[in-house]
């Protein structure tokens, strides 16, 4: 499956975005607490390959996700393969025995808003620990994503091309330099 999204940092108040989403016909459908654990391996470099292996702990569920290289476009597009995991402790043990090591964790609270006209169109308002508030717009069509973004842009958004993992690692490096 291809994941298509625009990610933007919210440079104003998140409440402004929520109000605008409501005016556009979006409704809050769910709130999720997510812990994303990203893995590295000694035999290849995920960063060089622009890939990622993630274990997502979400409320009481777990998912193992492979993310392929990003394609160079205005809307970030990349292959995503995800599987629900029923025994997260066992999958962690398997990964560790295969040489995978946890690289970093991204902790966030995600509010998912869905469109009344298109159930596959989702807007996520994320609070990422250590980074702040972000907005992700996901849909099947790039044009749909760009249209929604252009309507929300006036509310104080700045497109971000980095992943949360990249931003967290950069934040940690900066903390080590300063401290």
Angle of CA points 46, 104, 7, to nearest 5°: 75
d(CA 150, CA 5): 13
d(CA 97, CA 99): 5
Instruction: Output the CA torsion 136→137→140→145 (10° steps).
Output: -140
Catalytically annotated residue among 38, 39, 133, 149: 38
Active site residue 38: yes
Residues recognised as catalytic: 38
């Amino acid at each position: 499956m291809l994941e298509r999204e625009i990610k933007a940092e919210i440079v104003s108040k998140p409440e402004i975005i929520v109000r605008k989403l409501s005016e556009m016909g979006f409704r809050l459908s769910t709130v999720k607490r997510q812990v994303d654990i990203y893995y590295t391996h000694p035999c290849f470099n995920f960063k060089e390959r622009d890939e990622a292996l993630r274990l997502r702990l979400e409320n009481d569920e777990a998912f193992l996700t492979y993310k392929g290289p990003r394609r160079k476009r205005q809307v970030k597009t990349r292959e995503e393969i995800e599987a629900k995991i029923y025994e997260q402790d066992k999958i962690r043990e398997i990964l560790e025995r295969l040489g995978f090591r946890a690289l970093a964790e991204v902790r966030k609270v995600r509010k998912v808003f869905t469109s009344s006209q298109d159930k596959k169109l989702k807007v996520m308002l994320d609070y990422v620990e250590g980074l702040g508030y972000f907005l992700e717009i996901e849909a099947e069509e790039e044009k749909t994503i760009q249209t929604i973004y252009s309507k929300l842009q006036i509310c104080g958004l700045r497109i971000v091309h980095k992943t949360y993992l990249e931003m967290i690692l950069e934040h940690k490096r900066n903390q080590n330099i300063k401290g």
